[in-house]
Chains A and B, each alone.
Chain A
Amino acid sequence: RKEVEQDPGPFNVPEGATVAFNCTYSNSASQSFFWYRQDCRKEPKLLMSVYSSGNEDGRFTAQLNRASQYISLLIRDSKLSDSATYLCVVNKDYKLSFGAGTTVTVRA
């Protein structure tokens, strides 16, 4: 079983829509969680950390569900510029495990 699993998508959504997707992790002792964004043919960049209480950054909301071992990312009012692959990253004891990514395509 992979340590971090993501639905690869693609999620094709119109501008202005809301899109949400999850990431599951296998190790219940995982300590911290992140979402990275990777544009086509570019390097990954940190989008946001995921806190136990859930957190928002503008149109982006991240949630953590430790009981079910998943994290989620919700994007409201999607923009064309949100088209990217979103990587879920899980940390345990300073070892980062990356998911393979969920691709989101926002269409005009």
Chain B
Amino acid sequence: DVKVTQSSRYLVKRTGEKVFLECVQDMDHENMFWYRQDPGLGLRLIYFSYDVKMKEKGDIPEGYSVSREKKERFSLILESASTNQTSMYLCASSFDRPSPLHFGNGTRLTVT
């Protein structure tokens, strides 16, 4: 069974801090994704990666960056956290495009 692990379940950070969200998958998937989920808005794609060291912007990349140095690990970075980045962040991976996506259990980030 595919396992996607996000490093933190809950995080509280202050405005202006640099924040790292880590995601690791154990199924040798090529594709990895970062989404945020907000009430009434659904999941929105922040960044994705189809290969090591490769990244592409999703629908809402502003204020975020990513890193994929190894195939199994995809990191989301908030360069300077802001209160409007308070959200649930979901990492996902997939063997094929576009589906099925295997999600991690999420990181609920609060920026104060």
| Residues of A near any B CB (own CB < 8 A) | 4, 8, 32, 34, 36, 42-46, 49, 87, 89, 91, 94-96, 98-101
Q: Flag B73-105 by CB within 8 Å of A: 1 or 0 each.
A: 000000000000000001000000111110111
Question: Do B106 and A49 touch across chains, with their CB atoms under 8 A apart?
Answer: no
Instruction: Name which residue of chain B comes closest to A43, CB basis.
Output: B103
Question: Do A43 and B100 touch across chains, with their CB atoms under 8 A apart?
Answer: no
Question: Do A43 and B97 touch across chains, with their CB atoms under 8 A apart?
Answer: no
A89 to B45, CA, bound (A): 13
A98 to B36, CA, bound (A): 11
Question: Do B99 and A89 touch across chains, with their CB atoms under 8 A apart?
Answer: yes
Question: Do B42 and A101 touch across chains, with their CB atoms under 8 A apart?
Answer: yes
A76 to B104, CA, bound (A): 29
Residue from A4, A96, A99 within 8 A of B101 (CB atoms): A96
Contact residues in B for A49 (Cβ distance below 8 Å): 99
Instruction: Name which residue of chain B comes closest to A31, CB basis.
Output: B98
Question: Do A99 and B42 touch across chains, with their CB atoms under 8 A apart?
Answer: yes
A68 to B1, CA, bound (A): 37
A42 to B103, CA, bound (A): 10
Question: Do A91 and B98 touch across chains, with their CB atoms under 8 A apart?
Answer: yes
Contact residues in A for B42 (Cβ distance below 8 Å): 4, 87, 98-101
Contact residues in A for B104 (Cβ distance below 8 Å): 43
Question: Do A46 and B106 touch across chains, with their CB atoms under 8 A apart?
Answer: no
Contact residues in B for A42 (Cβ distance below 8 Å): 105
Instruction: Name which residue of chain A comes closest to B106, CB basis.
Output: A43
Given the contacts A96-B45, A100-B40, A44 and B99 also touching, CB distance less than 8 Å = no
Instruction: Name which residue of chain A comes closest to B99, CB basis.
Output: A34
Please, could you name 6 A-B residue pairs with CB atoms under 8 Å apart, sorted by A? A8-B40, A36-B101, A94-B97, A95-B45, A98-B35, A100-B42
